Structure formats: C-alpha cells, structure tokens
Amino acid sequence: MSLSPAPADIACPAITRLSALVALDGRANAILADALRRRTPVPARRELMIEGQEIRQPQLILRGWAARVRHLADGRRQIVAFVLPGDLLGLCDPPATIATTSVVAVTDMVVCTPPRRGASPLLDKVYAISKALDEAYLVAQVTRVGQLDAYERLGDFLLELLERLQLAGLAADGGFILPMTQEMLADTLGLTSVHINRTLQAMRRENSIVLKNRVLRFTNAEALRRGLGRLPVRVCATG
C-alpha cells in the first residue's frame, strides 16, 4: 500500500480533498490547475503564519502537515489543530485579518495561493464548506480536551485524522502516516508524553491500533468509533 504521493502528484491530495467537498466542473478545475502551477516549498519547522501578525495571503496546502500553535509566556504550548493537504489557511472575511495562532510546518510542505473568491461559484462553495469543517474540528477539539478521558481523547483524535486523510486520498486500509511525536500528541490533547505513551500501549494491547515506523493502522476503526460514541462530522444538510 502506498500512503504518499509521487513527486509528480504533489497536488493530487489537495485536488482529491476539494473535489470530495464539491464536484468541480471544468472551469473550476482549470482555475485550480492554474493556481497549482505556482507552488512554494516550505521546509519543516518554518512558520507559515505568526500569531498576532497580519495574514498577508491565503494558502492552500498541497503536501505535508502543519500545526496551529499557541505559545504561553512560560514556554508551554497548545496545539489547537493540524493542517493537512487540501486544507485552506487564512482565507478570511474581511481580508488583512490578524493570525490568531502561529502555523508551523510539521513536515516539509508545498503550498500555493488558492484561486480568489468569486473566480468560480463551485470553488466559493468549497471554501464555505472547508471553513465550516474547520469550525467543526475546532468544536471537536474543545470537547475532547474539556470532557473526554485520555483514552477517549486519543482515540477520537486519531479517528478524526483518519476521516480527514481519507478525504484527501491519503489513508488506505484503515491506515495512514502519522508524522507527529508523542510530545506533539500530548500538547494537542492536554496530556503528558508519558500519558500518551501509556494510552498508545493500551490501545495496542487491546488490538485497536497497530503503530509501526510512523504508520498507524486501525484494526477495526468502526468498532472503535462505536465504542467511543464518535459521530461523523457533518456540515451540510442532506435530503
């Protein structure tokens, strides 16, 4: 199973994710393809945005992971969310908004400036749904940290990553590459690294997950989802 795109297909996960949100027509795909030609590499650990500074231009993530981070005066940090391929950063109303968090590359990344609003009605719809998903994920993060125990927090978060990476075509057979450290997981979930390690070990003993060489695989994601009472994220009415 291949879990990472070939160099020539760097933009594929982003296109896959955007197309999963809205079926794009020929005009939208052409506008998007033109934007994807102007790619910018971002090395790991570089800041894409800095808390308190103006967001100069929006960015579409083509490859790699980033973390939205708040730093406290005493050196502690809270990772608020992760930014994955196909996600949009800084697409704000109104423009020239101030960044509420820093955004730091976790891995080497490739980004581009997305097509402007108004260029395509379907892309505008993609942007609206993507923004609604960001809000839904933020609500899920607040609930995890505020109400769930360690096992529930970690399981719920890993299932969310699986669902998000499936949208971008970056998860297969219940597995995906997990580039974050246990320290990063701890700073995301409000736990210590020791607690994260113990919880991962418990999930392994129960045969809920297999984690080897930074590839995490669920043995039965649906069973874990039911056990945690996790509901799918929905931002659009149906029927």
2 inside domain? no
Bridge-based pairing state of the strands 66-71 and 102-105:
antiparallel
pLDDT, position 193: 97
Would the pLDDT of 2 be above 70? no
DSSP per-residue string spanning 47-98: EEE-TTSB--S-EEEEES-EEEEEE-TTS-EEEEEEE-TT-EES--SSSSPB
42 in Cβ contact with 85 (< 8 Å)? no
* Amino acid letter for position 203: M
105 inside domain? yes
42 inside domain? yes
pTM for the whole structure: 0.91
DSSP 217: E
Q: What is the mean pLDDT of residues 146-163?
A: 97
178 inside domain? yes
- Dump pLDDT digits (tens) for 34-79: 999 999 999 999 999 999 999 988 999 999 999 999 999 998 999 9
234 inside domain? no
Residue 95: band (very low, low, confident or very high) from pLDDT cuts 50, 70, 90: low
- Helices and strands (H, E) in the chain, number of each type: 7, 11
CB neighbourhood size of 96 (10 A): 8
pLDDT, position 232: 72
Residue 10: band (very low, low, confident or very high) from pLDDT cuts 50, 70, 90: low
If one counts the domains in the chain, the total is 1
Would the pLDDT of 4 be above 70? no
149 inside domain? yes
Distance from first CA to last CA of the chain, Å, rounded? 36
- Which range is least confidently modeled, 60-74, 87-101, 188-202, 204-218? 87-101
Specify the CATH number for the domain of residue 214. Answer: 2.60.120.10
pLDDT, position 236: 64
- Which range is least confidently modeled, 77-86, 93-102, 198-207? 93-102
Helix (H) or strand (E) holding 188: helix 182-189
User: Distance (Å, rounded) from C-alpha 69 to C-alpha 81?
Assistant: 8
Residue 180: band (very low, low, confident or very high) from pLDDT cuts 50, 70, 90: very high
Q: What is the mean pLDDT of residues 134-151?
A: 96
Q: Which domain holds residue 141?
A: 7-228
239 inside domain? no
pLDDT, position 21: 95
- Which range is least confidently modeled, 13-17, 114-118, 173-177, 235-239? 235-239
User: Distance (Å, rounded) from C-alpha 88 to C-alpha 69?
Assistant: 16
Bridge-based pairing state of the strands 215-218 and 88-89:
unpaired
233 inside domain? no
